[in-house]
Chain A
Amino acid sequence: MRLCITSAILGVTLVAGPAAAQSLRAAYLYTLSDFTGSIRVDWSRVAVDRQRNEVYALHQNTVRVFNESGMEVYRFGDDLDIGHIVDVAVDDRGDVFLLSYRDSKAAIVRCNYRGELQARITLKRLPAEFSDFVPNRMVFQQGRFFLASSSGLKIVTADRDGHFVEGFDLVPLLDLEEQDRGSAELGGFSVDPAGNVLMTIPVLFRAFVMSRDGTVTAFGRAGSAPGRFNIVGGIARDREGNVLVVDKAKGAVLVFDPTLKFVSQFATRGSKPGQLLTPGDLAIDDRGTVYVTQAGKRGVSVFRLTHD
């Protein structure tokens, strides 16, 4: 197969790795905005609504909903009085779930598409090993909640009503030791449409894919060269099965093919349009629109990824 590097418009630098089996084009589009201009908050949480091609961005108890052109169409959250909202997820019906904390207790709140409170869901029937489970990440996929505690290194899945389905203790699964709980923590967490859990652990310079049966594949190596990990953050899978990994330090997004071979990376560290400054998390929808959160008051940068 031919090595093919396609550098995209608008100054997005693309660096291909030796395993590049396909050509990939990454174009910087814009920053998520409202009618007054781009919204320059640091590290929102982003979740895509694959059905409606909308994206949800949470920052300080405000959930903003953006349309396909990255323009804010709706916002809610502040008036809900449900404590501190830490994550947001959307299901295929358009219901919105908010993971929130009040008095150190977690609750999931279901809202309709207008952000009106519909129900409070509590986690039920947690087995004893998960009694101390304090999730700070939440994805809704395949009709289930996937909840993760990024420093507790545990994952729980639950049905729509909050009934415990499965629990995973990542310490044995990732070959860590008990003392690593609290000293190694998840930098990125997402679930692909098939229900595989994707994770990164920055201090280990590693990314992981945990399939439905609990088997774990690890990938990534420390380094500054293209394809290597400096400090990894968010991770997500696109519709073609490629895995995208954010590198906070490089200011780049690394793309791995479905077999987890490095394909190429796009963006570089900096403050110009199309560059990224300490990116944190990312989300990708079915059209290949990539939303990357970052620091430095630069808001959420939006890219379009296309494969030739």
Chain B
Amino acid sequence: MNSMRWAFVAVLAATLVAAGMVGISSAYHSGGAAECTGCHTMHGSNTYLLQGSDPSSTCLNCHQHTGDTGPTSYHSSTAPADMPAGVPPKQRAPGGDFGWLKKTYTFTLRGTPTTDDGNLFGHNIVAADYGYVVDPNNATAPGGTFPSAQLGCTSCHDPHGQYRRNANGTISKTGAPIANSGSYATSAEPTATSAVGVYRLLAGAGYTKGGVTFLGNPAAKVPSSYNRTEAATQTRVAYGHATTGGHVSWADWCKTCHSNHGAFPHPNDQQLGSTIATNYNSYVKTGDMTGTAATSFTSLVPFVENTSDYTVLASHAKNDNTYLQGPSGGDRITCLSCHRAHASGWNHALRWNIEYEFMVSGTSWYGTDTTPGDTNANKHRGRTSTETAAAYYDRPATQFAEGGQRLLCNKCHAKD
């Protein structure tokens, strides 16, 4: 054990205690650093005296738990024991379930055996104890230099949750004590004497990992119950656009590691403009453009609201369909309009399957059970209809055009 290091830890702990940040509360991270021993052990021998073989295993000690029957609290990963072949991962939080990375689908496509390898489905975090391994294809972040071998939860999240949003709207790493999480629609706002945590303990200005340094935090609010089925009502994250006072836009945050992403050079951060906003608002499904702005939102194609006001975002972060307002021309498209942050049931952590031009089969989801056979392989790509439904967060296939629902690029482009 490295006593020097622990002396330092002890000092930091003392500082944090003095700042009123430590204490067992129901919200484990309570918007800031949690009980040190949840993640560190004095008697550990590894780097940072962590409670796992690596930082991500440490996180998964709580963020994955065997025995899940459905979306469960703050779990970000489903244990293999809970997802035998044909059974999809259980979590339905906005970031997505890392468990998809452990699902590999094989199917025969026009006579050729084809594989959708799980490592394509998102960010391959390295968590040795939990069987998550380095991405075998990308040595670094596509369009950047961040080494895949170092990718873990703490590449994107600050484990000590030091970034805080202050009453004056700025984000800082030190300052007033963090009173509570700032992520939730119901979280209290900062006051003159207390700050709140940044959205999802995400890495902020000055946070350096794998040779890259983040320039700020993105703004958003999420309903306090967020890991849930969207079979009946949608979970709406209200993503905001803030670029000053320690903030960066959502696309710029992702570009910390994907600075040069060019494989699919789609505009990002760009305002939708009135034509595309009108498309979004009118689009119900393929061939049906009778929608209205007040009910047009879909969590399969979220957008960034052109506001940096967290109270406005909080009032839009709903999980009961009471706020389904679509975009206006000033709102924006971002990476998360198409991708999930962690992983999804589809290649490149996309929110929908882009490998085939249609999405549903009549009134059911594509699947090896509903649309079997070689000629249909591109539709199901080896998934059961249950798995396809799970990848769409359990919404019914009947929400889409029975006669041939096309890809959701059309939500904005309406070319169908």
A contacts, CB < 8 Å to B: 41-45, 58-61, 84, 86-87, 101, 104, 106, 134, 136-137, 150-151, 176-177, 179-180, 182-185, 187, 202-205, 222-225, 228-231, 248-250, 269, 277-278, 280-281, 293, 295-297
A204 and chain B: residue at smallest CB distance: B24
Chain A residues whose CB sits within 8 angstroms of the CB of B354 once the complex forms: none
Contacts of B72 in A (CB 8 A): 150-151, 185
Decide if the interface of chain B is mainly helix, strand, loop or mixed: loop
Query: Contact: A183 with B51, CB < 8 Å?
Result: no
Number of interface residues of B (CB under 8 A): 43
- Distance of A145 from chain B, by nearest CB (Å): 16
Residues of B within 8 Å of A248, CB to CB, are: 51, 61
The 5 closest A-B pairs by CB, nearest first: A249-B51, A60-B84, A180-B26, A224-B41, A224-B42
25 A-B pairs with CB atoms under 8 Å apart are A42-B79, A42-B131, A43-B79, A60-B80, A86-B69, A106-B69, A136-B67, A136-B69, A150-B72, A176-B26, A182-B73, A202-B61, A203-B24, A203-B26, A203-B28, A222-B24, A222-B35, A222-B37, A224-B43, A225-B43, A228-B37, A248-B61, A280-B66, A295-B131, A296-B129
- B contact residues vs A (CB 8 Å cutoff): 24, 26-28, 35, 37-44, 51-53, 57-58, 61-62, 65-70, 72-74, 79-85, 87, 128-131, 224-225
A148 to chain B, nearest CB (A): 10
Structural contact, A295 and B129, CB atoms closer than 8 A:
yes
In the complex, which residues of chain B have a beta carbon less than 8 angstroms from the beta carbon of A202?
Answer: 38, 61-62
* Residue in A86, A184, A205 whose beta carbon sits within 8 Å of that of B35 in the complex: A205
Given A205-B24, A205-B35, the answer on whether A224 and B40 have CB atoms closer than 8 Å is yes
Q: Is the beta-carbon distance between B41 and A84 smaller than 8 angstroms?
A: no
Q: Which residues of A contact B83 (CB under 8 A)?
A: 60
Kindly report which residue of chain A lies nearest to residue B42, judged by CB atoms: A224
Q: Which of B41, B73, B85, B224 lies in contact with A249, CB distance below 8 A? A: B41
Which residues of B lie under 8 Å from residue A176 when comparing CB positions? 26
B residues near A182, Cβ cutoff 8 Å: 73, 225
Q: List residues of chain A with CB within 8 A of the CB of B62.
A: 202-203, 231
Determine the chain B residues whose CB is within 8 A of the CB of A185 once the complex forms.
65, 72-73
**Chain A neighbourhood of B73, CB < 8 A:** 151, 182-183, 185
CB distance from B326 to the nearest CB of A (A): 30
Q: Which chain A residue has the least Cβ–Cβ distance from B90?
A: A84
A184 to chain B: which residues have CB within 8 Å?
26
Question: What separation, in Å, do the CA atoms of A224 and B50 have in the docked complex?
Answer: 11
A222 pairs with B27, CB closer than 8 A: no
Assess the A278–B52 pair: CB atoms within 8 A. yes
Residues of B close to A150: CB separation below 8 A: 65, 67, 72
